[in-house]
């Protein structure tokens, strides 16, 4: 079994883009390698080139730039967990980083890799969706920006061109807001999400919801924002009964997209329960 495999580590983003222009289709981009190495081993991935982008300075950094919160694609999950700026401006993303795989994986795996891999259960995606993240892609031809939801086209398939690299994500920062990410897995740690949810909400003095963002992961081929539930709850004071109703709407949307499967009998209740678990703190008790 002869395998022609090369490893290269460009020093600058421009060098990487130039290489991808000529060899993008035969190259696998490696940052943390935690997905690539598994697929390389299984034979699912058969690249000619392994292009290591883990040290490209252009992909690093978390900062506020022109009013947007820029998170470099090469930022590791551990970096996300320890960044104070995210505690303030994107807490759901940080919460997702705490529950992400294991310490060993978090130390090398990157947010860009998690998104580009397009697993339906990528835990970075729902928090990025609620922050209406834009994905900045670069190729030797220039730059384009697409919404985060447009990256995955189906499970493990992305709309990213083989010549392109994910450079960064631009999030809408949100301060002093109720925000949470939770997931359900088969166990507590190192669990692949069976259902995950990211939520942001703001309410006025009377408890009326004035702003809401909700995204569901792992239950549909690609993670989804639930705008209908956002509309439904905005302007209302959440009671327990109202939240059960809204949770059912989220579950209904999952069924509408994914169809009825053998797991639906479990997932319908699980999604509704997850929704309730996250949003129950907003219920005003008389």
Closest to another protein by CB, 77 vs 201, is: 77
Closest to another protein by CB, 2 vs 84, is: 2
Residues 40-69, mask of contacts with another protein (x by CB under 8 A): xx--------x-x-x---------------
Q: Is 248 in the site for another protein (CB under 8 A)?
A: no
Per this entry, what is the length of the chain?
Answer: 286
Q: Which residues contact 50 (CB under 8 A, 6 or more apart)?
A: 5, 6, 7, 8, 27, 28, 30, 36, 40
Q: Is 6 in the site for another protein (CB under 8 A)?
A: yes
Stretch that binds another protein, among 25-33, 86-94, 154-162, 198-206 (CB under 8 A): 25-33
CA distance 40 to 133: 30
Q: Is 88 in the site for another protein (CB under 8 A)?
A: no
Q: Is 101 in the site for another protein (CB under 8 A)?
A: yes
DSSP strands (E only) in the chain: 6-8, 27-30, 49-52, 62-65, 68-72, 134-139, 142-147, 152-154, 157-158, 165-171, 178-184, 195-203, 209-217, 224-225
CA distance 164 to 174: 29
Short-list 276, 222, 286, 266, CA closest to 246? 276
Q: 100: which DSSP letter?
A: S
CA distance 116 to 167: 11
Shortest distance, position 74 Cβ to another protein, whole Å: 13
Residues 117-156, mask of contacts with another protein (x by CB under 8 A): ----------------------------------------
Stretch that binds another protein, among 63-71, 105-113, 146-154, 229-237 (CB under 8 A): 105-113
Q: 185: which DSSP letter?
A: -
CA distance 162 to 147: 18
Stretch that binds another protein, among 33-41, 86-94, 139-147, 270-278 (CB under 8 A): 33-41
CB 201 within 8 A of CB 91: no
Residues 183-202 that bind another protein (CB under 8 A): 188-190
Rule CB under 8 A: choose which of 2, 67, 142, 259 binds another protein: 2
Token output for 74: 């090469």
Q: Is 7 in the site for another protein (CB under 8 A)?
A: yes
Rule CB under 8 A: choose which of 87, 102, 145, 153 binds another protein: 102
Residues that bind another protein (CB under 8 A): 1-7, 9, 30, 32-34, 37-38, 40-41, 50, 52, 54, 78, 101-105, 107-108, 188-190
């Amino acid at each position: 079994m002869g395998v022609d495999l090369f490893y290269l580590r460009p020093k600058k983003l421009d060098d990487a883009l130039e290489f991808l222009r000529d060899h993008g289709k035969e190259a696998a981009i490696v940052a943390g390698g935690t997905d690539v190495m598994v697929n390389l081993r299984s034979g699912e991935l058969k690249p000619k080139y392994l292009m290591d982008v883990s040290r490209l300075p252009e992909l690093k950094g978390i900062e506020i730039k022109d009013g947007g919160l820029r998170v470099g694609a090469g930022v590791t999950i551990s970096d996300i967990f320890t960044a104070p700026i995210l505690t303030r401006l994107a807490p759901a993303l940080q919460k997702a980083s705490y529950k992400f795989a294991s310490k060993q994986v978090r130390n090398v795996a990157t947010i860009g890799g998690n998104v580009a891999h397009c697993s339906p259960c990528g835990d970075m995606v729902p928090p990025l969706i609620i922050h209406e993240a834009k994905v900045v892609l670069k190729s030797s031809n220039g730059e384009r920006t697409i919404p985060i939801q447009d990256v995955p086209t189906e499970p493990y398939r992305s709309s990213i061109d083989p010549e392109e690299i994910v450079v960064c994500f631009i999030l809408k920062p949100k301060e002093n807001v109720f925000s949470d990410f939770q997931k359900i897995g088969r166990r507590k740690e190192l669990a692949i999400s069976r259902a995950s949810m990211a939520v942001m909400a703001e309410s006025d003095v009377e408890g009326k919801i004035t702003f809401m963002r909700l995204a569901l992961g792992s239950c549909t081929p690609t993670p989804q924002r639930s705008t209908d539930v956002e509309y439904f709850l905005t302007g209302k004071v959440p009671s327990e009964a109202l939240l059960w109703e809204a949770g059912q709407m989220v579950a209904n949307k999952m069924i509408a997209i994914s169809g009825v499967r053998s797991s639906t009998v479990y997932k319908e209740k699980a999604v509704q329960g997850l929704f309730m678990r996250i949003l129950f703190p907003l219920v005003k008790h008389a």
